[in-house]
């Protein structure tokens, strides 16, 4: 396992971007109370100033509010970034709905273009596989968006290697975005190898383990209503104390390596293969800069190996989602029933 090369640039389809982008979900969605629009815009403008050129959003995030946020910030700067968004999972009457029907995807794309204030989305993902709709039909509709000039490249999110291969046979898939971190190793059960074979970028979301592998891990008993981590077993009372003990050991490894825990965790993800990228999210300018600094660090291979031995699919306590949520996700399972 090699150290992360300085300022590593990696490819997503026809695009070349730094190995770290920015996941924008928590600026509008899922984690506690969103920041003010002014604070969110400041974070995004700082990211642009710091050289971030890969921004990741979705129709679901804030039920359109996140795309609107990026549309405002990118006005006049659109050509500076690889802009990624997602369809196939949206908010309908206050509820999250998975809908991969072609007519829904076309409608979602048109609304996204309007909110993002752009003529073309660089990378458009199918956010979740709709079990009622063959992936070939969903991807076929997305391929029509490419032909119409509304989208430049296609991606999939949270799907298995088998589904990736089926989709790739319909239209080339530029990126697969799956959860991947020290404590979530599902890609190692198939998609890491399949993406390498097919020439598809593997974009890791939640590479910092939902904030667990940062300088300020969440206190589960203080999470506000609506925070998605309240329903995640790894943050529950039955598992969190044991996971915190593993985190304490990782923090020691990071100190010995001369980096922060977040930097160690990100370096580990990027070290997995040259086609792996990551899109950590943050609301903090300080944490944004801390994360980006990993591109200029050469974390020792011994530290990366030690980190992977401490926290992995065997040592983590609890599955990543509850059973009902796992039943609706197409990825390979890994670790304790997850």
Tokens of residue 110, six digits? 């048109």
What is the C-alpha to C-alpha distance for residues 311 and 213, in angstroms, rounded to an integer?
A: 11
DSSP E strands, the chain: 9-12, 15-18, 22-23, 54-56, 82-87, 89-92, 95-98, 121-126, 151-157, 173-179, 201-205, 276-278
Question: For residue 4, what are the contacts with CB-CB under 8 A and spacing of at least 6?
Answer: 19, 267, 270, 271, 294, 295, 297, 298, 299
Task: Mark whether 61 is an active-site residue.
Answer: yes
What is the C-alpha to C-alpha distance for residues 308 and 141, in angstroms, rounded to an integer?
A: 40
Contact call for residues 118 and 85 (beta carbons, < 8 A)? no
Q: Strand 276-278 relative to strand 82-87: parallel, antiparallel, unpaired?
A: unpaired
Contact call for residues 52 and 18 (beta carbons, < 8 A)? yes
Q: Which of 61, 124, 125, 240 is catalytic?
A: 61
Tokens of residue 6, six digits? 């300085």
Contact call for residues 234 and 320 (beta carbons, < 8 A)? yes
- Residue 16 to residues 74, 174, 220: CA-CA distances in angstroms? 19, 12, 38
The packing angle between helices 301-310 and 261-270, to 10°, is: 100
Q: Which residues are identified as catalytic?
A: 61
């Amino acid at each position: 396992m090699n150290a992360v090369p300085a300022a590593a640039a990696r490819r997503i389809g026809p695009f070349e971007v730094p190995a770290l982008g920015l996941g924008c979900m928590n600026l509008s969605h899922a984690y506690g109370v969103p920041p003010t629009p002014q604070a969110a815009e400041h974070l995004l403008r700082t990211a642009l100033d710091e050289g971030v050129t890969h921004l990741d959003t979705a129709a679901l995030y804030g039920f359109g509010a996140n795309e609107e946020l990026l549309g405002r910030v990118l006005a006049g700067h659109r050509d500076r970034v690889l802009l990624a968004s997602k369809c196939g999972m949206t908010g309908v009457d206050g509820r999250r709905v998975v809908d991969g029907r072609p007519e829904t995807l076309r409608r979602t794309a048109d609304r996204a273009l309007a909110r993002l204030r752009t003529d073309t989305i660089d990378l458009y993902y199918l956010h979740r596989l709709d079990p009622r709709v063959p992936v070939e039909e969903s991807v076929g509709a997305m391929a029509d968006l490419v032909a119409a000039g509304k989208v430049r490249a296609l991606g999939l999110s949270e799907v298995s290697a088998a589904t990736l291969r089926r989709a790739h046979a319909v239209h080339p898939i530029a990126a697969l975005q799956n959860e991947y971190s020290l404590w979530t190793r599902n890609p190692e059960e198939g998609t890491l190898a399949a993406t390498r074979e097919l020439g598809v970028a593997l974009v890791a979301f939640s590479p910092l383990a939902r904030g667990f592998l940062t300088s300020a891990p969440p206190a589960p008993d203080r999470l506000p209503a609506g925070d998605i981590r309240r329903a995640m077993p790894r943050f529950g009372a039955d598992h969190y104390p044991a996971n915190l003990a593993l985190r304490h050991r990782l923090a020691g490894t990071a100190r010995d390596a001369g980096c922060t825990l977040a930097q160690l965790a990100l370096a580990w993800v990027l070290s997995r293969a040259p086609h792996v990228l990551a899109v950590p999210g943050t609301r903090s300018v300080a944490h944004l800069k801390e994360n980006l600094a990993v591109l200029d660090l050469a974390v020792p291979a011994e530290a990366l190996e030690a980190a992977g031995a401490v926290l992995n699919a065997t040592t983590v306590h609890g599955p990543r989602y509850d059973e009902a949520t796992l039943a609706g996700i197409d990825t390979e399972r890994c670790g304790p029933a997850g």
